A and B are shown apart, each in its own frame.
Chain A
Amino acid sequence: MGILQVKDINKRFGGLAALADVNLDIEQSTVHAIIGPNGAGKSTLLNCFVGRLKPDTGTVIFDGTSLLGIPPHEINQAGVSRVFQTPEIFGELTLLENVMIPAFAKRDGAFTLNAWPDLRRESDIKDKAANMLADLGLGEKLKIVAETLSRGDKRRLELAMCLVQDPKLLLLDEPTAGMARADTNATVDLLKGIAASGITMVVIEHDMHVVFSLADKITVMAQGTPIVEGLPEEIRGNAKVQEAYLGGAHL
Chain B
Amino acid sequence: MLKNFVNKRDLPVFLGFIAIVLLAPIIMAPLGAGYPDLLQKFAIFGIFAIGFNILFGLTGYLSFGHAAFLGVGSYTAVWTFKLLTVNVVPAIFLSTLMGGLFALLIGVISLRRSGIYFSILTLAFAQMAYNLAYSVLTPITNGETGLQLTLNDSRVIDNMFREVSKTSLPSTDFFGLSMSGFSGFYFCAVVLIICFYISLRIFRSPFGVMLKAVKSNQERMSYTGLNTRPYTLAAFVISGMFAGLAGGLMAVTDPLAGAERMQWTVGGEVVLMTILGGAGTLIGPVLGAVTIKYFENIFSSLNDSILNSFFSFMPEPMQHVFTAVAGLFVGEGWHLTLGALFVVIVVFLPGGLMEGIGRIGKLFRRGGDDGDKKEPAAKFATPAE
Contact = CB atoms under 8 A, between A and B. Distances in A.
Please tell me whether chains A and B touch each other in their complex, using a CB distance cut-off of 8 A.
Answer: yes
Interface stretch (A94-102, A230-238, A241-249): A94-102
Interface in B224-274: 224-228, 230-231, 234
B51 to A, nearest CB: 14
Contacts of A82: 223
B201 A90 contact: no
Given A105-B225, A105-B226, A150-B385, A113 B208 contact: no
Contacts of A109: 225
Nearest to A171: B223
A115 B216 contact: no
A243 to B, nearest CB: 36
Contacts of B224: 73, 76, 81, 101-102, 105, 161, 165
A184 B244 CA distance: 55
Nearest to B224: A102
A116 B205 contact: yes
Interface in B188-208: 201-202, 204-208
Contacts of B362: none
Contact of B385 (A105, A106, A152): A152
Interface string A60-91: 00000000000111101100011010001111
A110 interface: yes
Given A88-B219, A93-B212, A119-B209, A101 B226 contact: yes
B240 to A, nearest CB: 15
Nearest to B7: A118
Interface in A33-80: 50, 71-74, 76-77
A74 B225 CA distance: 6
A114 interface: yes
A250 interface: no
Interface residues of A, number: 42
A111 B225 contact: no
A191 B7 CA distance: 39
B207 A113 contact: yes
Given A73-B222, A110-B226, A93 B205 contact: no
Interface string B1-21: 000000100000000000000
Interface string A143-169: 000000010100000000100010000
Interface in B327-342: none
Max chain A CB contacts within 10 Å: which of B205, B206, B209?
B206
Contacts of B385: 150, 152
B113 interface: no
A117 interface: yes
Interface in A101-151: 101-102, 104-106, 108-120, 122, 125, 150
A119 B206 contact: yes
B213 A101 contact: yes
Given A73-B225, A91-B216, A106-B225, A101 B210 contact: yes
Contacts of A165: 224-225
B201 A88 contact: no
Contact of B208 (A90, A119, A161): A119
Given A118-B204, A118-B205, A93 B216 contact: yes
Contacts of B222: 71-73, 76
B215 interface: yes
B206 A122 contact: yes
Nearest to A83: B223
9 contacts: A73-B221, A81-B224, A91-B216, A100-B206, A104-B210, A111-B230, A111-B231, A114-B206, A115-B207
Given A114-B205, A115-B205, 7 more contacts: A73-B223, A90-B213, A92-B216, A108-B206, A111-B231, A114-B207, A120-B7
Interface of B: 7, 201-202, 204-210, 212-213, 215-217, 219-228, 230-231, 234, 384-385
- What 9 A-B pairs have minimum CB-CB distances, sorted nearest first? A76-B225, A115-B207, A110-B227, A105-B225, A90-B216, A111-B230, A88-B220, A72-B222, A114-B206
